[in-house]
Amino acid sequence: MIIDLLYLVAAVCFILALKGLSSPESASSGNFIGIAGMIFACLAAYLSTDLSNVVLTLLAVCIGGSIGVCIARSLSMTALPQMVAGFHSLVGLAAVLVAFSAYYAPEVFKIVGEFGRIYKSSLIEMGLGVAIGAITFSGSLIAFAKLHEIYKGTNVPKELNAFLGSSILCLLIYFVLTDSQCAFWLLTFLSFVLGATLIAPIGGADMPVVVSMLNSYSGWAASGIGFTLHNDLLIITGALVGSSGAILSYIMCKGMNRSLFNVIFPSGQDDFSAEKGAATVRPYQKGSAEDAAFILKNAKSVIVVPGYGMATSQAQHALKEMGDLLKRNGTIVRYAIHPVAGRMPGHMNVLLAEANVPYEDVFELDEINRDFATCDVAYVIGANDVTNPAAKNDPSSSIYGMPIFEVDKAKTVLFLKRSMGTGYAGVDNELFYAQNTMMLLGDAKKTTEAIVKAL
Ligand code: NAP
């Protein structure tokens, strides 16, 4: 009774946590509700099991907890997507291990029927759990390596993935019908391979969608474990994670004007061996912090477009200070956030909230894009791909189709970055060379601080 109640409270906490995390204002309380839910869940799981392994259980909690704390404390915020991918891989691996435990010790899981045979429904759960878990595990590891830039990617023939996918489906059916040990192992092996071959060819600019998709897979894998362990909370939590990850993938695809199918099965062949970073050198206008301060002082309306570079340089506090100074001068200052700006969903919102930028000054792509045409200054701070007109004008570009901020329509564009190099997608940006663009080369934080001083 107590255990059921604890599970119920935990499930409600998780739902409320998701609700809280949907807005920057309530994200912090949402996070705490989630932590409380997890404590209730652990407590219930602990009370519902055989208490003979107290020492081992506590030891596992201590080791796991300490590793988690160390990773979280040592990680920079820009490396969060990698961390998320790394943690997803563990959920996938857990699903595989639980499925194997259940297969080799079915009596412990109470899934044996007449003549010592495992129930068909349990075979389905195990087969699905092992397949989704293995795909999540190897896919997440590849995503981690790509996001951490230790692996660039490889083109994989679509036919190979189609072959692996259909083989896995056939093996799954065969396994459920025959309970064949050989099919179970082969199913696991091919799923590990498919996870890697699915993610390896996906282009850099699509990695945010991949991370969120793997998040969804890991949720379904956890749900699968829940069925095997007869744990309702795990089923509910897995379904919450699975569906929220799927919805987020959909929202991001919409933000990049891509279909999920097109992201998972890229149509073109990418040149993964190409080095990115060095854009073609052409004449451009270079400015100083004093020039920028002069332009900003005379502007009636400024739209700030933050990107990954603002995060790496931690320029958000200096930016807020600059915004406040301009506002005091009577300038309208707004912040425009692209759905895939930075390196994870909500990256820019979190940083601006940390610097106490008022929520009412922060706008999404659809809300503000047409206002660039009437604004005096677009202050592009460490953003690049999300402003790149190639997404609109060049069908051969890897970012073609992604909606962008039309910053070129502003009277003046101030571009803060360290060099003339490209952004995440490795595509040169025509805007750097435009008549109305002034390049402010240097670290975004230092440049913004210099502008504040000049103002
Ligand atoms: P971006 O296209 O990667 O451009 C960031 C720019 O910041 C770079 O061109 C870099 O130029 C500059 N920069 C880096 N460090 C800097 C510093 N200390 N000071 C000043 N500038 C600095 O970033 P974005 O416009 O935000 O676009 C995001 C990209 O990441 C998209 O392609 C998106 O698909 C991808 N992505 C997004 C997510 C997500 O979930 N949001 C996840 C993974 C990938 P310099 O090197 O010349 O300084």
Q: Is beta strand 362-364 parallel, antiparallel or unpaired with respect to 332-337?
A: parallel
CA distance 434 to 413: 9
CA distances from 345 to 35, 59, 135, 339, 350 (A): 21, 35, 23, 7, 10
Quick check: 374 and 301 in contact, CB under 8 A? yes
Cα of 372 to ligand 1 centre, how many Å? 21
Cα of 321 to ligand 1 centre, how many Å? 22
Closest C-alpha residue for ligand 1 atom 9? 423
Residue (of 333, 330, 324, 293) closest to 416 by Cα position: 293
Quick check: 241 and 216 in contact, CB under 8 A? yes
Max distance between CA atoms of the chain, in angstroms, equals 85
pLDDT in 10s for each residue of the chain, 455 residues: 788 899 999 999 999 999 998 877 788 899 999 999 999 998 888 888 776 778 888 898 899 889 888 888 887 777 877 888 888 898 889 889 989 998 999 888 888 887 778 888 889 989 998 999 999 999 999 988 988 888 888 888 889 999 999 999 999 999 999 999 999 999 999 999 999 999 998 876 677 788 888 888 888 888 888 888 788 888 988 999 899 888 888 887 877 777 778 777 766 556 566 555 555 668 899 999 999 999 999 999 999 999 999 999 999 999 999 999 999 999 999 999 998 888 777 889 889 988 999 989 999 999 999 999 999 999 999 999 999 999 999 888 878 888 899 999 999 999 999 999 998 888 899 999 999 999 999 999 999 999 999 99
Give the position, in ligand 1's atom list, of the atom nearest the Cα of 420. 47
Q: What number of other Cβ atoms are within 10 A of residue 37's Cβ? A: 21
Instruction: For residue 333, list its beta bridge partners.
Output: 302
Residue (of 7, 67, 1, 425) closest to 236 by Cα position: 7
Cα of 340 to ligand 1 centre, how many Å? 10
Copy the structure tokens of residue 208.
Answer: 């945010």
Torsion angles phi and psi, residue 300, rounded to 5 = -90, -30
Is residue 323 lining ligand 1, measured as CB closer than 6 Å?
no
Is residue 347 lining ligand 1, measured as CB closer than 6 Å?
yes
Quick check: 226 and 235 in contact, CB under 8 A? yes
Q: What number of other Cβ atoms are within 10 A of residue 317's Cβ? A: 16
Tokens 């309306």 locate to: 301
Is residue 415 lining ligand 1, measured as CB closer than 6 Å?
no
In a mutational test of the pocket of ligand 1, which residue from 424, 427, 441 has the highest number of ligand atoms less than 8 Å from its CB? 424
Quick check: 88 and 136 in contact, CB under 8 A? yes
Is residue 442 lining ligand 1, measured as CB closer than 6 Å?
no
Give the position, in ligand 1's atom list, of the atom nearest the Cα of 382. 7
Closest C-alpha residue for ligand 1 atom 11? 417
